[in-house]
Structure 1
Amino acid sequence: MRVEETGPVFARCIIEADYLWPTNAIGDERSCGERSTSLAQHTVVTTLELRVGEQFVRVTHDIDNRARDHRVRAHFPLPKRVSGSSADCAFAVVERGLETEGGPHEYALPTWVSRRFVDCSDGAQGLGLVHDGLLEYEVVNDGTELALTLLRSVGYLSRSEMKLRPNPAGPLLPVEGAQLQKRLQMQYCVVAHSGDWVSADMNSIADRFLIPLETASATGSASADREATGSALQVTGAVVSTLRREGGALILRAFNPLKTPALLEVSVSERPIQGEVVDLIGEALAPFTGALALRPNEIVTVRLAD
């Protein structure tokens, strides 16, 4: 480990760790029953970064993957034992237990997907992971550890004699590119917090981590005095899904991720903005006067007055 930066704006350290991973699985399109005894050395370079004003640690892994048929996960001990997880999905945060429901055609595997973040909490303390495209996770070791999948290498779209299901999951096609034998970079952040995902405001943390501030070069002198222009749009009480211009109007779509009612409020320069609630094809449903009560998990689209 070596320290790269010590502040005051940000601190950064780099950890290099060597691993010996089996080079491949032994099998064909029918089945796969064991791993090769030959090993390949891999160096995983992990960068940890802490920036001033942020309540999370940024993590970047760089891996030159030369192994096949394997999964690499990062494991995080949880501050308290939990009974489930909260995972961000499309227009909702889904609460899941530690076990999943199987059936006659598929074994019950407690691996799940999340869209932007996954959080595990006992209500008093918790740990969240906000990720950029690392969709698979699992709560392991009886609710004491959270595993995030960084890499999953596969050689076939499906096999004919799978151990965890009686029938193939698809055609028996080789997919060489899915072995991901190349240089890879994975990014996410770790959030240790009190309370649950709601009190930690995981949606806002995900916005801050996944939507970086855009920068641009400008000309002029340091003493230039330019009048501020534009408007400050503020949205509270709901999560913004999209904000776009359409036919000269400003279209806002927001949703309430909670299981309780919420109040959507929209203002410009601290003044309530007018508009109308519309459906998915843009037909007006009701007037909008700056505030709207949302049912649990309700999605709403508002056309705002210019």
Structure 2
Amino acid sequence: MLYKYKALDICKEVVVYRDIPRIEFVTRINNNYPNIRLRVKFDADIERKIFFRETQFGVIAEPTEYFTRAGGTQPSRIPNFMSWFDVSDGVRGITFMNKGLPAVEIIKDSVYITLLRSVYGLSADGIAGPLVPTQDALELKSYTFEYALQPHNGDWQQAEMYKQAQEFHHLPISIQADSSGELPSESSFIEISPNNLILSALKKAEDSDEVILRFFETKGETTEAEVKLFRALSRLTLVDLLEREECELPFEGNKFRLEVKPFEIVTLKLRF
């Protein structure tokens, strides 16, 4: 138990691995205190003017502060990053990962991650509009928050921190099975290389029994993709996001290669 009050209990669990340089945090909160904001602060000891954040199918740079005539220099809040963001100086850095905690603020060399914000109403000052009660936004209940950080050398591209963040968000699932069937004891359903290509979707096509495969480039580099499947293909087609066919692509058995542009989204239709 980290903190206990009549209206607020906070319990934090810190997970340190022997072979993984990632530190994970599990914070459990039982909140009965209205109109509060709970944040965790990390002293990164790295003060930069920009940081990098994951966005939909890519990574972009954002300023850590902005300037206004009225208020001068103000810290920027991270706008809707996905699962990770990185603060580094090119020599060393820290990548912050989370599961559903996109509200973050960077002030000088400190990082603040918002866990919980409780409000009783909107437009409470009467100037922006009439008071709108928000009873459900008081957040008077129990929550569990999961987040992590990982120090690294170099920048986020050199350290392949996008891969580390994917591993934090997509933990392996083990299922016990019997020994019947024709598959080998060890096999991979699909292999995509190199590491800067991120699998986004693998599903049945909307209008046929074919399989849709989607991946994207996340490092900002032109890349030659190599994909290996568990069985041979009979047809390979490039399609758009609506699964409309554009052109057929060459393949060799269960393998194929293609060039991927920086941050490009590739969608393919597979027929076995």
The TM-score normalised by the length of structure 2 is: 0.82
Q: In 1, are the aligned partners of 2:84 and 2:95 still within 8 Å (CA)? A: yes
Separation of aligned partners in 2, 1:232 and 1:119: 31
Structure 2 residue 224 is the aligned partner of structure 1 residue 267: no
Q: 1:283 — aligned with what? A: 244
Structure 2 residue 74 is the aligned partner of structure 1 residue 139: no
Identity among equivalent pairs (%): 23
Q: In 2, are the aligned partners of 1:264 and 1:293 still within 8 Å (CA)? A: yes
Q: In 1, are the aligned partners of 2:7 and 2:33 still within 8 Å (CA)? A: no
1:64 to 5, 30, 35: 30
Q: Which runs of 5+ in 1 are unaligned?
A: 1-15, 21-39, 221-225
Give the superposition deviation at 1:269.
5.8
SS at match of 1:275: strand
SS at match of 1:208: helix
Q: In 2, are the aligned partners of 1:119 and 1:128 still within 8 Å (CA)? A: yes
1:149 to 91, 99, 114: 114
Q: In 2, are the aligned partners of 1:288 and 1:302 still within 8 Å (CA)? A: no
Runs of 4+ that moved beyond 6 A: 101-104, 270-274
Q: In 1, are the aligned partners of 2:75 and 2:106 still within 8 Å (CA)? A: no
Separation of aligned partners in 1, 2:53 and 2:117: 20
Give the superposition deviation at 1:218.
4.2
Q: 1:233 — aligned with what? A: 190
Separation of aligned partners in 1, 2:214 and 2:247: 15
Structure 2 residue 50 is the aligned partner of structure 1 residue 84: yes
Give the superposition deviation at 1:119.
1.0
Give the superposition deviation at 1:89.
1.4
Q: In 2, are the aligned partners of 1:267 and 1:273 still within 8 Å (CA)? A: no
Q: Which moved more, 1:270-279 or 1:118-127?
A: 270-279
* Distance 1:260-1:101 versus aligned 2 partners, 3 A rule: farther
Give the superposition deviation at 1:297.
2.0
The TM-score normalised by the length of structure 1 is: 0.74
Give the superposition deviation at 1:95.
0.8
Residues 49-95 of structure 1: per-residue CA shift (max 9 Å, x gap): 12343221111001111222221111111143222211111112121
Residues 84-143 of structure 1: per-residue CA shift (max 9 Å, x gap): 211111112121011247799xx9761123111111111111111111000111111x2x
The structure showing larger relative contact order (alpha-carbon pairs under 8 Å, at least 6 residues apart) is 2
Separation of aligned partners in 1, 2:55 and 2:68: 21
C-alpha RMSD of the superposition = 3.0
Structure 2 residue 89 is the aligned partner of structure 1 residue 122: yes
Separation of aligned partners in 2, 1:194 and 1:46: 28
Structure 2 residue 10 is the aligned partner of structure 1 residue 51: no
Q: 1:30 — aligned with what? A: none
Structure 2 residue 261 is the aligned partner of structure 1 residue 304: no
The one-letter code matched in structure 2 to 1:86 is: F
Structure 2 residue 2 is the aligned partner of structure 1 residue 17: yes
Q: In 2, are the aligned partners of 1:18 and 1:41 still within 8 Å (CA)? A: no
Q: Which moved more, 1:115-124 or 1:153-162?
A: 153-162
Separation of aligned partners in 2, 1:201 and 1:58: 18
Separation of aligned partners in 2, 1:286 and 1:101: 48
Q: In 2, are the aligned partners of 1:234 and 1:270 still within 8 Å (CA)? A: no
Q: Which runs of 5+ in 2 are unaligned?
A: 251-255
Residues 5-49 of structure 1: per-residue CA shift (max 9 Å, x gap): xxxxxxxxxxx32277xxxxxxxxxxxxxxxxxxx5633211111
Separation of aligned partners in 1, 2:211 and 2:17: 33
Structure 2 residue 216 is the aligned partner of structure 1 residue 249: no
Q: In 2, are the aligned partners of 1:83 and 1:122 still within 8 Å (CA)? A: no
* Distance 1:271-1:216 versus aligned 2 partners, 3 A rule: closer
Q: In 2, are the aligned partners of 1:123 and 1:195 still within 8 Å (CA)? A: yes
The one-letter code matched in structure 1 to 2:82 is: R
- Count residues with an aligned counterpart: 258
2:143 to 146, 160, 184: 184
